[in-house]
Structure 1
Amino acid sequence: MSAGVGNGMNHRPRFVSADAVLEVLKWPEMIAALREVYASAPQARHSPRRVVARNDSVWLRALAATPPGRRYMGAKVFGFSKSGGTYAVILFDQESGALAGILDANHITGFRTGATSALGLDYLAPRKPLTVGVLGSGAEAQAHLAAVGHVRRIAAFKVFSPSVANRSAFAGRFRRELDVPGDAVGDARAAVDGADVIIAAARSRGEQPILFGDWLRPGTVVISIGSTLPEQREVDAGVVGACDLIVCDNVDEVVEETGDMIAARAAGIAFDDKLMSLSDLVLERHAARVRAARLPMLKTAGAAVQDLAVAELAFTKALAQGLTQEFPGDFRYKPA
C-alpha cells in the first residue's frame, strides 16, 4: 500500500511548517513543476472552481485538485476574519487515498502565483533583458519580481506603492539581490512608464483600478494578479480593451468571477476573441497568435493545480531533508 498508510488501518500524516516550506522551495524548481502541470493540460474536472463561503465579515475559500500525473491530490483551504487568517494545504496520496501531509501554506500562495506568472512571461516576453514596473510592494509583488528574474534577466525596475517606507525597502532589497538599478517612485504611472513588463500586484484600498489602459504602449507585457473576487479591482476596463491577448490560468473563472473582467464586460469591452488558457500557451497550441500579440496580458485568479504543484514539491523535499513532523494522532483508513 502507498506511503502514508501505516498498518492499513490507521496512519499519521506528516506536517510541514511555514519555515520548512520557505527553506526548501526554490524558484527554478517551482516554475518547472508548474510547467509540467500546465503541459499536462488539466481539465475542469481535475481542478474545479474554488468555493467561497461567506458570513458577514468572515469568509472561507477552498481550492481542490486531482492533478494528472502527480503523486498527490488535495486542497488548499484558508479562512479570513477582520483580524486575519490562516492557510493550509492538505495532501492525499492519489494511489491509496490516504492523508499524507498537512502544510502551513502561508508562503505557498505567493510562491505559486509568482511562479505561475514567471511561467506565463517566459512564453509572452521577448528573450532580452527587461525593464520591469511593479505596482505593489507586499509579499506578492516581492515574489513576482524574484520569480521573473529566473526566466529573464532584469535590466532595471521601478516600484510604486502608497507607503514610502515599504516601496523604499522593496527597491533597496531588490537592488541588492538582483544587482540592477531600481527606483522607488511616487506614483503608479511613473512606475510603469516605459516598462517592458508591468506587474500589477496590489489593489487599491477602495477597490479602484490602479493601472489604466491609456498608460500602456505596444511591446509591453502586463501581469495582473490582484483581482480574484467580483468586488476586487486592479486594472481598468481600458487595460482589457487595449490588450490584444489575454492569457488566463482558468478562462471561465477569470472572466466570470474577477472584478476587472466583470467591469470590462459591463463597460461594453469585447474580449472573448482575445482569451487563451495558460495550458494552451505552454503547449504552444496558438503560437502564431502569441507571436502576433503586441500587448499581451496574463490575468490570473489562482488555481488549485498551482497550489498542489508547489505543495507537492515542498512536501517531497521536506520529507527528504527530515524537515517534517509526525501528526500527533492517528487517522482511520477506510478501505474501498
Structure 2
Amino acid sequence: MNHTHLPTLFINDDHVAELATWSSAIEALSHAYSQPISNAMVPPRTMARGDGFWLRSLCAVSPSKEYMGCKLIAASPKNKKASYLISLFDQDTMRLAALIDGNRITDIRTAASSAVAVNALAGTEKFDIAILGSSALARSHLHALNATGRIAKVRVFSPTEVNREKFAQEFHAQYGLDIQAVATAEEAVKGSNVVICASRSRDGGPVFDAAWLEPGMTVVSVSSTLPEQRELDVDTMKAASLIVADMPEEVIHETGDSLVAIEQGCDVAAKTVSLSDVMSGQVKVRNTPEDIVIYKSVGSALQDIVTAEMLLRNAKAADKYQEMNDSIVTIDR
C-alpha cells in the first residue's frame, strides 16, 4: 500500500479514556526518557494571544523515531472554554498519521511522568506518600503512583475537610490503599519519603515548608508552573542537593519557586538536571541516602507526543479509532 494513501486515524475522547492505562503511559515515558533527547527535539512552547483568549503550541520529535507531533491548546479564560488537539506525523514519510483529542492527555502525561521520576529518584523500595491537594491533578498522581506497585501508605491533606475525606475514601475503595485524610499539611508530610505538591495556596505563596523536610525525602512539585506561582519555599529549594526538571530552562527561569530562590541567593541552575539525564544514567541521584531531591515539572511536549504515540499503538491494537475519509496531501519537495 502506498504510504500517501494510508488513512489518517482520529482518536476521540471516549477512546482515549479507554486506551490510556497508567502502566502503558509510565512504560512509554520511562523508555522515552532513557533515550538521547536533544534540546532541538523539544523546543520552547509558543503562544499566540488575542483579547481574552490564546493558542499555545507544544511540539516535539519522539526519540522512538516513529512520530513527531504538536499539541495545540485553544483557551478562552474569559468564556471558560478550551480545546486540545494532538497531531502525529510519521518521521519517515511526513504523512499525518493521527489526530487525537488531547483533553485528557495533560493530566495523564503529567502524572505518569511524575511516577517515572519518583520511581527513579525515591531512595526506598516502598513509598510512604504525602499528597498536598485533592484536585484532578492530585488524583491522577495517586492513580499513576499506584500503578508502580510501590505504595506502602498515603496521607492526604486538602484545606477543605470534605474534599480530603472523599479523596481518601475513594482511593481506599478502588485500590485498598492504606490512605488517611489528615487535618494539616505538616501531619501529611511527617514520616513520608515522597511528597506530592499538587495544590496552590490561595495567596500564591508556598504550600510546603522546609521545616517539614526529612532526610532522603523526594519532593514533587507540579502546580507552580508560572513566575507568579509558588509551591516550595526558598529553604526547601536551598536544601535540595538535586533538582530534576522535565524542562530545565523553563523550571529555572519561569517558575516562581526558582525565581524567588535565585533572588535570595540560591544557585538553582547549578543543581538542576534534566529527567532524561537521570533516566539515561548520566547523573547520580544521591551521594548519600539523606540527600533531599526535588522533581519540578512544568509539562513538556515530549510527554504529550510520547503519550499520544502510546495511545495510537493501543488504538490500533484494540481497533478503537475512526478512519478519516480524507486527509492532508503529502507532497514531494
1:61 aligned residue: 56
Q: Does 2:101 match 1:95?
A: no
1:322-333 paired onto structure 2 within 5 Å = 322-333=319-330
Distance 1:210 1:2 in 2: 56
Deviation readout 1:227-267 (Å, 9 max, x if unpaired)? 12222222222221121111111211210112211121122
Measured after TM superposition, the shift of residue 16 of structure 1 is 0.7
2:313 aligned residue: 316
1:111-260 paired onto structure 2 within 5 Å = 111-260=108-257
Distance 1:42 1:293, change over 3 A: farther
Q: Does 2:299 match 1:334?
A: no
Distance 1:253 1:60 in 2: 19
Distance 1:290 1:34, change over 3 A: farther
Distance 2:101 2:238 in 1: 39
Distance 1:157 1:292 in 2: 22
Distance 2:329 2:229 in 1: 41
8 Å Cα contact 1:250/1:277 also seen in 2 = yes
1:52 aligned residue: 47
Measured after TM superposition, the shift of residue 294 of structure 1 is 1.3
Distance 2:288 2:9 in 1: 45
Measured after TM superposition, the shift of residue 92 of structure 1 is 0.8
Distance 1:17 1:205 in 2: 35
8 Å Cα contact 1:90/1:101 also seen in 2 = yes
Percent same amino acid among aligned pairs? 37
Q: Which amino acid aligns with 1:316?
A: R
Distance 1:329 1:162, change over 3 A: farther
Q: Which amino acid aligns with 1:247?
A: V
Q: In structure 2, the residue corresponding to 1:331 is in which secondary structure?
A: coil
Distance 2:211 2:189 in 1: 12
Deviation readout 1:188-211 (Å, 9 max, x if unpaired)? 222222211100112224322211
8 Å Cα contact 1:244/1:293 also seen in 2 = no
Gaps of 5+ in 1: none
Could you tell me the TM-score, scaled by structure 2's length?
0.92
Measured after TM superposition, the shift of residue 152 of structure 1 is 4.6
1:24 aligned residue: 19
Could you tell me the TM-score, scaled by structure 1's length?
0.92
Count of aligned residue pairs for this structure pair: 331
1:279-298 paired onto structure 2 within 5 Å = 279-287=276-284, 289=286, 294-298=291-295
2:267 aligned residue: 270
Distance 1:154 1:2, change over 3 A: farther
Distance 1:235 1:59, change over 3 A: farther
Distance 1:230 1:28, change over 3 A: same
8 Å Cα contact 1:61/1:78 also seen in 2 = yes
Distance 1:140 1:204, change over 3 A: same
Q: Which amino acid aligns with 1:14?
A: L
8 Å Cα contact 2:278/2:285 also seen in 1 = no
Distance 1:219 1:324 in 2: 45
Measured after TM superposition, the shift of residue 292 of structure 1 is 5.3
Deviates more, 1:255-264 or 1:325-334: 325-334
Distance 1:147 1:110, change over 3 A: same
Distance 1:314 1:57, change over 3 A: same
8 Å Cα contact 1:2/1:96 also seen in 2 = no
Deviates more, 1:168-177 or 1:90-99: 168-177
Q: Which amino acid aligns with 1:214?
A: A
Distance 1:69 1:128 in 2: 29
1:70 aligned residue: 65
Gaps of 5+ in 2: none
Distance 1:2 1:263, change over 3 A: farther
Distance 1:49 1:191 in 2: 35
Measured after TM superposition, the shift of residue 291 of structure 1 is 5.1
Distance 1:33 1:291, change over 3 A: farther
1:35 aligned residue: 30
Measured after TM superposition, the shift of residue 269 of structure 1 is 1.8
